């Protein structure tokens, strides 16, 4: 097994909001993408909620008590711990857009199989020995703007006083707040944010390793604006994480695109 890791901070951020985990025995792997807060509040040791959420997940994944528990149990219990930590920090839990939150993609190898869990837009992909790349997870954040718009339309049809779409277009901060009301809700997206409902939105499964050549775990900073994730995985398999990241950063710079935090773990068998 050959393992490559890359984790880069966005130059526009004070600290990296991504986190990662690789166990000492190289059997458990995790990539976490903290959700950038909608205010400037800082908490323990000057960290924001995105940093605290993603790094808490990375730290709990390595605790001995979860060695013999399923990944779903780990994620549910870590989600509950996140709620406790927000309450201790006097976060206004009722204001859902102020919650600490993180996406997650975690993989655990056990014998000839790999179990995984996922929330949000961190992704896990596999490549077989014929070069076919298949996502093991679904990006639940993709398309949230359109789904949120349909949800607002349905509420207007019920007679609720919701501003017109033109208002949301003119107020991007309010539009983002509205998106976050759909976290761990039907028609929304999954994210670790202390919601008890998270358990109903976790993606989980297993993959047989016998036909797998490589596995890729990435945060959305590795997404290419013009390529599918399958193409991203194929390019990384050719040139590696570092060269791909460098090329992506250059392309983003030349096109005036913002650089995001980016974290990836590439596992070759």
Domains of the chain: residue spans and CATH = 2-141+189-268 (3.60.40.10), 142-188 (no CATH)
Structure confidence by residue, pLDDT tens digits, 144-181: 999 999 999 998 999 999 999 999 999 999 999 999 99
Model pLDDT, residue 98: 96
List the one residue out of 193, 212, 188 whose CA is nearest residue 266: 212
Model pLDDT, residue 144: 96
Model pLDDT, residue 109: 97
Model pLDDT, residue 67: 87
pLDDT at 201 over 90: yes
Model pLDDT, residue 50: 97
Stated pTM of the model: 0.95
Percent pLDDT > 70 in the chain is: 100
Q: Using CA atoms, how far apart are residues 142 and 145, in angstroms rounded to an integer?
A: 8
Model pLDDT, residue 253: 95
Tell me whether residue 122 is exposed, middle or buried, using C-beta atoms within 10 angstroms of its C-beta: 0 to 12, 13 to 18, 19 or more.
buried
pLDDT at 40 over 90: no
**Size (the chain), residues:** 269
Model pLDDT, residue 234: 97
List the one residue out of 6, 12, 18, 4 whose CA is nearest residue 252: 12
* Sole residue written with tokens 């859902």: 96
pLDDT at 103 over 90: yes
The CA–CA distances, whole Å, from 262 to 39, 137, 220, 268 equal: 22, 18, 7, 20
The arithmetic mean of pLDDT across residues 116-143, rounded, is 97
The arithmetic mean of pLDDT across residues 214-220, rounded, is 98
């Amino acid at each position: 097994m050959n393992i490559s890791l890359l984790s880069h901070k966005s130059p526009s951020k004070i600290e990296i909001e991504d986190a990662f985990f690789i166990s000492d025995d190289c059997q458990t792997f995790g990539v976490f993408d903290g959700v950038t807060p909608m205010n400037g509040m800082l908490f323990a040791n000057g960290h924001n909620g995105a940093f605290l959420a993603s790094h808490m997940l990375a730290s709990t994944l390595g605790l001995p008590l979860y060695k013999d528990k399923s990944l779903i149990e780990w994620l549910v219990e870590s989600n509950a711990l996140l709620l406790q930590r927000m309450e201790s920090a006097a976060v206004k839990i009722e204001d859902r857009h102020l919650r600490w939150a993180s996406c997650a993609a975690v993989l655990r190898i056990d014998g000839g199989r790999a179990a995984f869990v996922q929330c949000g837009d961190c992704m896990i992909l596999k490549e077989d020995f014929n070069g076919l790349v298949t996502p093991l997870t679904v990006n639940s954040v993709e398309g949230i703007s359109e789904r949120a718009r349909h949800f607002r339309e349905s509420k207007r049809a019920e007679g609720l006083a919701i501003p017109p779409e033109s208002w949301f277009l003119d107020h991007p901060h309010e539009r983002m707040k509205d998106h976050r009301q759909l976290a761990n809700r039907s028609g929304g997206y999954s994210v670790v944010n202390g919601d008890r409902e998270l358990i109903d939105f976790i993606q989980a499964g297993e993959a047989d390793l016998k036909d797998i050549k490589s596995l890729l775990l990435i945060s959305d900073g590795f997404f290419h604006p013009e390529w599918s994730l399958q193409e991203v995985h194929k390019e990384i398999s050719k040139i590696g994480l570092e060269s791909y990241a460098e090329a992506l950063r250059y392309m983003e710079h030349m096109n005036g695109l913002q650089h995001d935090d980016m974290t990836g773990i590439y596992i070759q068998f």
